Amino acid sequence: MTSAIRFTHPGPPEVLRLVPIARPEPAAHEVRIRVHAAGINNADLLERRGHYPVPPGAPEGPGLECAGVIDAVGADVDGWSIGDEVCALLAGGGYAEEVVVPATQVMPKPRSLTMVEAAGLPEVACTVYSNLGMIAGLTAGQTVLVHGGAGGIGSFAVQWAKAIGARVIATAGSDAKAAAARTFGADVAINYRDEDFAAATLAATDGRGADAILDIVGAPYLERNIESLALDGHLVIIGGTTGPTTLDLWELMSRRASVSATLLRARPAAQKAAIVAGVIRDVLPLVDSGAIRGAVDAVFPLAEAGRAHALLESGTTVGKVVLDATAERL
């Protein structure tokens, strides 16, 4: 037996409970990871509230990323061995002492990061790289607007964009968070409660606008995001409020701009494998060089996942909230 966080019905953070479960066994294409730490993401909060449908076939329980040590390897797996220190992109079940995951979604733990820091890497790195790198094609010399620049995804996006040579404009919900975004490398940080981010973005780019926008807000920002785009710009929507909205196609066409909306969790295995391979090739060297650092706000024991969710929901965090699974084995 082993232990994992589960909930029997949607609800507040208190529904999360650490319970015993059968020890997972890896399939031929999988490895099993003895989890040291697991990252928490907004998708986990939505799942707990009953607002994020779990993809068919996903492991039970919340948790989309972890770091730890491989302790079992499937028969068809090459390139990974028992004892390897790794982090992994999961489809679910990461709040646990042990998880199984396709070997193609595993990456080496960066030498420059602790296990706790590495646990908060896979989901944000794969999200940022797949959207800003693979879809929007952000390159050196371009300008990107990152919404929520002090959050888990935003703090990584700011650092990655700066590391590849882009100019970064970030939004944040307070002066303190705007200051935090600057510490991650933002050239311009906008407190969206005090300033209109579209006007501020245009002012910061001499009216040109941003070449790419990473949006976590959704429908309420759509019109102003389009206004903020440069010619041939690309808006990528990765979360936030959904539902009916209005899109001025002329504004889009006149900018020769494009809009994408993506979710990472439900992508097919082949797409996830390609994204993870790209992160290993193009992103992890930047982490190991120190150009991208871990950004962890708070760490909780695995058994206190409810408290961790409550903190993330408070909106006061900078960077990631992480669960420490080793405390349960002491």
pLDDT at 328 over 70: no
pLDDT at 245 over 90: no
What is the DSSP annotation of 277-317? HHIIIIIHHHHHTTSS---EEEEEEGGGHHHHHHHHHTT--
Mean confidence (pLDDT) of the chain: 96
Grade residue 244 by pLDDT with cuts at 50, 70 and 90: confident
Cα 180 to Cα 151, 166, 307, 316: the distances in Å are 9, 18, 23, 12
Q: What is the pTM of this model?
A: 0.95
> What tokens were used for 48?
């707990």
**Helix or strand holding residue 234 (H, E):** strand 229-237
Over residues 198-205, the mean pLDDT reads 98
The pLDDT tens digits of the residues spanning 187-201 come to 999 999 999 999 999
pLDDT at 210 over 60: yes
pLDDT at 128 over 60: yes
Return the closest-CA partner of residue 294 out of 304, 284, 302: 284
The pLDDT tens digits of the residues spanning 53-63 come to 888 889 999 99
CA 259 – CA 222 distance, rounded (Å): 10
pLDDT at residue 40 in the model: 98
Is the CB of residue 164 less than 8 Å from the CB of residue 138?
yes
pLDDT at 326 over 60: yes
pLDDT at residue 241 in the model: 77
What is the DSSP annotation of 173-219? SSHHHHHHHHHTT-SEEEETTTS-HHHHHHHHTTT--EEEEEESSBG
The pLDDT tens digits of the residues spanning 222-232 come to 999 999 999 99
The pLDDT tens digits of the residues spanning 24-37 come to 999 999 999 999 99
Q: Greatest CA separation found in the chain?
A: 61
Least confident stretch, 169-178, 239-248, 284-293, 300-309: 239-248
Over residues 301-318, the mean pLDDT reads 97
Residue with the two structure tokens 């699974």: 325
